[in-house]
Structure 1
Amino acid sequence: MLHIALLFFIGILLGLANLKSTFLILTPLVTPSFLLLTFSSHQKISFSKRFIMGWVFGLGYFLVSLYWIPNALLVEANQFSWLVPFAFLGIPAICALLMGASWIIIPWMHTQGVLRVGLFCLSWLLMECMLYLPFGGFPWSLIGYVWHRSLPMAQIAHPFTIHGLSLLTLIWGSFYYLLIEKRTKLARFSLISTLILSFLGCYLWGMKRLSEPNKIKDLPSLRMIQPNIPQKNKWHPAFQKRNLRKILKLSYASGSDSQTLIIWPEAALTYNMTPSLLRYITKYLNAEQFLITGVLETAPSFKDSFNVYNSLIVLNNRGHIIEKYRKHHRVPFGEYIPASSLLNKIFPHSLRTIAGGRTQTLRGKKPQTIQVSSDIQFSPQICFETLFGSLVSSKPEKPLWILNLTNDAWFGRSTGPYQHLQISRFRAIQANLPVVRAASTGISAVIDNHGRIIKSLPYGQAGVIDVHKKDQIRRSGQEIWSSLTGRL
């Protein structure tokens, strides 16, 4: 029983790495050794016990790192507050099943030394990969994301992906276990030398990459809108006109005529897309400008009266839709109900999707590069699609940047919106492309291909982010060996 309690505590400790405090970067560099030292290699542990131990450890880890998810249920508390305990415990419990499964598949506890470390790291990597499976995937709490606090180390995600960075982190965190196990001075000296040299090598390589010119120059001139509309008011009929006026006022305030793109966040347009409405919201655009917005799109259906998609549309100055992307990866229970026919029989009057009332959204095709003009071509992503590296389009043309429209208002001032921002930074690093991130209540940001935040708006503040070509040229010309040391 003591082992079980200790595993739960170690899981919580490692889960703290996903929170905002800078000192918590140390937790993944220490806790793997605690975990490895918990078991003797001579212990005979059955399959079922290994699964339970892995599940308990995973439960502690995911409880801490995903604690903010139930906040979404409190936006409409009268409808969904009864689900809070299920979300708080249920989602981490489901994710922890994958940890338990990985501990069964890879029996690292029955080994010792370097083999034990290797198998343990492999079991963790297997768990991270399996996070892409349940309900379409939710690869959120990856241990490699802790390095957003150190940009040089974060650059390792470019050649090796975020999973490679997770693997390196776990290997470094396991060195203390090997130091305790090794008895000879030579073995310990070799281990310490390997740790220092590998860590230093990665850091210096990251510094070198950060000194290279960024790709911000590939962005067009743009204005990004952060309206900061509370989620409880967003779809309320009494607030719709006021909300739209606020967005339009921010969009066409002084300086907008010099921007090629005006960008609104996910589902910013809460009215039906009638031709007259589209002409109204684009009437202040000139012939060289375009408006990009998120919208809940309704489309005719043969089976039902209509289908609903969470979409991104590109409008010209006449209000015509010239490009469109329908979200491919939907949020489980937020935009659709997995196994809905079964669950609706169990909860016929209570269970409905959070984001879309009683209407589930349908899945669109995998994203392709949207090319508005010769110098405007981007990969579209909506909401948590930024978690999936495979959704960065490469057809028919390779994009010049990534556009992420999102709405993190559901989660309030928790770590959720901040974690989402950091994941976007890693997507920029891994894809080697700038990311433009428009969020309803924050955190909106322009991120270069090295993961640096060039411009941003804090959570809970209304405003705009303007990106001008002259700013981009100036930024590219001052690349930052000097400023980097002061920042890091």
Structure 2
Amino acid sequence: MHQLLAVFMALPNACLLAWGWRRCGLALGAGGISSFALPPYGLWPLLAGTIPVLVWLLDGAVEHGSGRNKQRLLAGFSIGWWFGFGFFLAGFWWIGSAFLVDGDRFAWMMPFAVVAMPTGLALFPAIAMSVVARFWSEGSWRLLLLALALSTSDYIRGHILTGFPWNTFGYVFADTIVLAQTASLIGVYGLGLLALLVFSTPAVLADSIARGKKIVIMGAGALCLLGMGIFGAVRLFLVADPDVSAVDLRIVQPAVAQNEKWLPENRERIFQSYLDLSSQSWANNARSGVERLLIWPESAVPFLLTDSPDALVRIAGVLDGDMSFVTGAVRAEPSADGAVYFNSVYLFDPDGTVQDAYDKVHLVPFGEYLPLEDLLETLGLKALVNAPGTFQPGFRNRVLSLQSGTSFQPLICYEAIFPEIAGSTDTRADFLLNVTNDAWFGDSPGPYQHLAQAKMRSIEQGLPLVRAANTGVSAVFDAKGRKVAFLSIGERGALDVALPGKMLSTGFSKYGDFFFFAMTFLLLGLILAQRHNRHSRKN
């Protein structure tokens, strides 16, 4: 313990005196270590060491005095970019697995993708840190500025262009269920802002201020964590759990390897595997007299389901007039230029007829479609997903309803990482349904990160989340984000579980990111007031 404390106390001097490649290396290391604060590791106390490193690096890099704006901007950009590159490289290295599934065509792209993605995403913290450096000065208010800028960059990253809010800072609490409950009020972006505020406070240990002031600042961070813990405990243990709904679920996880799924010779074996798992005897916890719903994952079968009458007849036999059925599937529609394809969810009645369908709205760039398709295809690039053509997006997010009236909002794969998509429908669903295929990434951190982010949607919305994944993790979470049941990565089986009930609307489900914006403007006001007071004292 004493050795760990000694290392931590040596960090400020190392950061303050660093320059050139040493400064870049410290920022890179801080970013890489910070990624382990997120799922699947969940070592969030690490941020209490890495976020202060950013503060100390800026303290040592920023040159004070007039005419130094350019140097400040460049120094902040460099520190932010290297931090971001380390953070995203350590957090996203697993994306390379997708390029090995069809290695003959895509393996050559893997090293470029693994490096290019962190390179581009690092621009967000780089720009944020350059703004921070421009207005950097002595005083504890600079911690507010850093937290405000980085959380805002997370929000912008989640919305600009098509948006990519994967591994935002708010997910550091995703696996600490008590602290994660605060997301029901302020959402994941607000949670990220609180995390950055809390974990920046140890930076004052190196400040030349009174010991009492240091205690007050760090105590404020500790009180914030305590407040989050109290709020979470009240919501988890004192707010009554809703009654279990009158629906029993069967979630099928066939565990089909991605490189085997689309081989023609495997078509019948894969389809029969789904049927066998779907028709097996229900577990002992199954209830009589309740509605039953069978669920298959994203693009479950390797063919156009509605173009195969024989397959539909065999599915109807499994349903036996007793179960409704939901599956992910590729859907085709004729058009003047040939068929148009959608990544869809079908809802079948118990008699095996299609009742409704939802088409995925938010597609994965480079996976399900190519931006600037004509140009990139001339360079030899193609979308990764095996489909007859690139997918077209659906028109809107919507709720589907079973015959009994129980409703759900489909979130197809990638859509579950967007807080604004869940709950974006005109009517509030009874549960969220995330169908996905994470087989592209094997048993890497990727599927676990995806699971943690999907789970956060249940806390934000106060709705149970049901997840069907081809190779795992398939799971059910209640309306407070607690895991009710799951099937592990690579496990073949069927998960039988009662659908948890939904809670009353949460603050986030009613007001979205309002509280995050309110916190942001409050911090901005405090920062401006502090700067005004400081300039007034100088004059």
The partner residue of 1:462 within 486, 492, 497 is 492
Q: 2:73 corresponds to which residue?
A: 47
The partner residue of 1:269 within 268, 292, 301 is 301
Q: 2:535 corresponds to which residue?
A: none
Q: Say whether 1:337 aligns with 2:357.
A: no
Q: Say whether 1:248 aligns with 2:275.
A: yes
Q: Say whether 1:58 aligns with 2:58.
A: no
The partner residue of 1:170 within 160, 177, 196 is 196
SS in 2 for 1:449: coil
After TM superposition, the structure 1 = structure 2 runs for residues 131-170 of structure 1, keeping only pairs within 5 Å, are 131-133=157-159, 136-170=162-196
1:332/1:88 Cα in 2 relative to 1: closer, same or farther (>3 Å)? same
In structure 2, distance between residues paired with 1:415 and 1:172: 26
Question: What TM-score, normalized to structure 2?
Answer: 0.82
Question: What TM-score, normalized to structure 1?
Answer: 0.91
Q: Say whether 1:79 aligns with 2:112.
A: no
Larger Rg, first or second structure (1 or 2): 2
- Cα deviation, 1:382-415, whole Å, max 9, x if unaligned, reads 0011111221245442101100000000001100
The partner residue of 1:121 within 125, 128, 147 is 147
SS in 1 for 2:121: helix
The partner residue of 1:15 within 24, 35, 51 is 35
In structure 1, distance between residues paired with 2:280 and 2:368: 33
Note the C-alpha offset of 1:226: 0.4
1:373/1:291 Cα in 2 relative to 1: closer, same or farther (>3 Å)? same
The partner residue of 2:344 within 311, 318, 322 is 311
The partner residue of 1:407 within 437, 451, 459 is 437
More deviation in 3-12 or 270-279? Answer: 270-279
The partner residue of 2:316 within 272, 276, 282 is 282
More deviation in 29-38 or 314-323? Answer: 314-323
In structure 2, distance between residues paired with 1:218 and 1:48: 57
In structure 2, distance between residues paired with 1:195 and 1:409: 40
Q: 2:518 corresponds to which residue?
A: none
Q: 2:534 corresponds to which residue?
A: none
The partner residue of 2:253 within 226, 244, 247 is 226
Look up the equivalent residue of 2:335 and give its one-letter code. S
Point out where structure 1 has 5 or more consecutive residues left out of the alignment: 477-488
- Cα deviation, 1:401-450, whole Å, max 9, x if unaligned, reads 10000000000110001111111111110111100000000000000111
1:81/1:109 Cα in 2 relative to 1: closer, same or farther (>3 Å)? farther
In structure 2, distance between residues paired with 1:409 and 1:134: 28
SS in 1 for 2:229: helix
More deviation in 152-161 or 255-264? Answer: 255-264
The partner residue of 1:204 within 209, 230, 233 is 230
SS in 2 for 1:254: coil
- Cα deviation, 1:339-373, whole Å, max 9, x if unaligned, reads 1122123x1xx311111356210000221111223
Look up the equivalent residue of 1:152 and give its one-letter code. V
1:395/1:198 Cα in 2 relative to 1: closer, same or farther (>3 Å)? closer
SS in 1 for 2:294: strand
Contact 2:415 2:421 in 1 (8 A): yes
Note the C-alpha offset of 1:319: 2.8
Q: Say whether 1:69 aligns with 2:101.
A: no
Number of residue-to-residue matches in the alignment: 467
Q: 1:320 corresponds to which residue?
A: 353
Contact 1:369 1:394 in 2 (8 A): no
In structure 2, distance between residues paired with 1:268 and 1:431: 27
1:20/1:390 Cα in 2 relative to 1: closer, same or farther (>3 Å)? closer
SS in 1 for 2:265: coil
Note the C-alpha offset of 1:117: 0.8
Note the C-alpha offset of 1:34: 1.2
Look up the equivalent residue of 1:165 and give its one-letter code. L
In structure 2, distance between residues paired with 1:406 and 1:126: 29
Contact 2:202 2:218 in 1 (8 A): no
Q: 1:36 corresponds to which residue?
A: 55
Q: Say whether 1:293 aligns with 2:312.
A: no
SS in 2 for 1:38: helix
Note the C-alpha offset of 1:138: 1.4
In structure 1, distance between residues paired with 2:424 and 2:197: 33
Q: Say whether 1:194 aligns with 2:220.
A: yes
In structure 2, distance between residues paired with 1:173 and 1:15: 14
- Cα deviation, 1:191-246, whole Å, max 9, x if unaligned, reads 23323322212111101111123346246211010000111111110101000000
- Identity, % of aligned positions: 31
In structure 1, distance between residues paired with 2:193 and 2:145: 11
Q: Say whether 1:398 aligns with 2:428.
A: yes
Contact 1:107 1:119 in 2 (8 A): no
- Cα deviation, 1:132-188, whole Å, max 9, x if unaligned, reads 245512110112212123111011111010111111111111111123315213312
Note the C-alpha offset of 1:282: 1.8
SS in 2 for 1:397: coil
In structure 2, distance between residues paired with 1:370 and 1:105: 45
In structure 1, distance between residues paired with 2:261 and 2:435: 16
1:109/1:6 Cα in 2 relative to 1: closer, same or farther (>3 Å)? farther
In structure 1, distance between residues paired with 2:382 and 2:466: 32
Note the C-alpha offset of 1:317: 3.2
Contact 2:72 2:133 in 1 (8 A): no
- Cα deviation, 1:252-284, whole Å, max 9, x if unaligned, reads 111299661000000002222224432321223
In structure 2, distance between residues paired with 1:173 and 1:423: 21
Q: What's the RMSD between the two structures over aligned residues?
A: 2.1
Contact 2:330 2:341 in 1 (8 A): yes
In structure 2, distance between residues paired with 1:29 and 1:219: 45
In structure 1, distance between residues paired with 2:430 and 2:257: 32
1:138/1:249 Cα in 2 relative to 1: closer, same or farther (>3 Å)? same
In structure 2, distance between residues paired with 1:214 and 1:354: 42
In structure 2, distance between residues paired with 1:123 and 1:70: 30
In structure 1, distance between residues paired with 2:87 and 2:457: 23
SS in 1 for 2:190: helix
Note the C-alpha offset of 1:50: 3.0
In structure 2, distance between residues paired with 1:219 and 1:386: 25
In structure 2, distance between residues paired with 1:52 and 1:30: 20
The partner residue of 1:27 within 20, 43, 46 is 46
Note the C-alpha offset of 1:19: 4.8
SS in 2 for 1:223: strand
Q: 1:6 corresponds to which residue?
A: 26
More deviation in 216-225 or 39-48? Answer: 39-48
Q: 1:362 corresponds to which residue?
A: 392
Contact 2:473 2:488 in 1 (8 A): yes
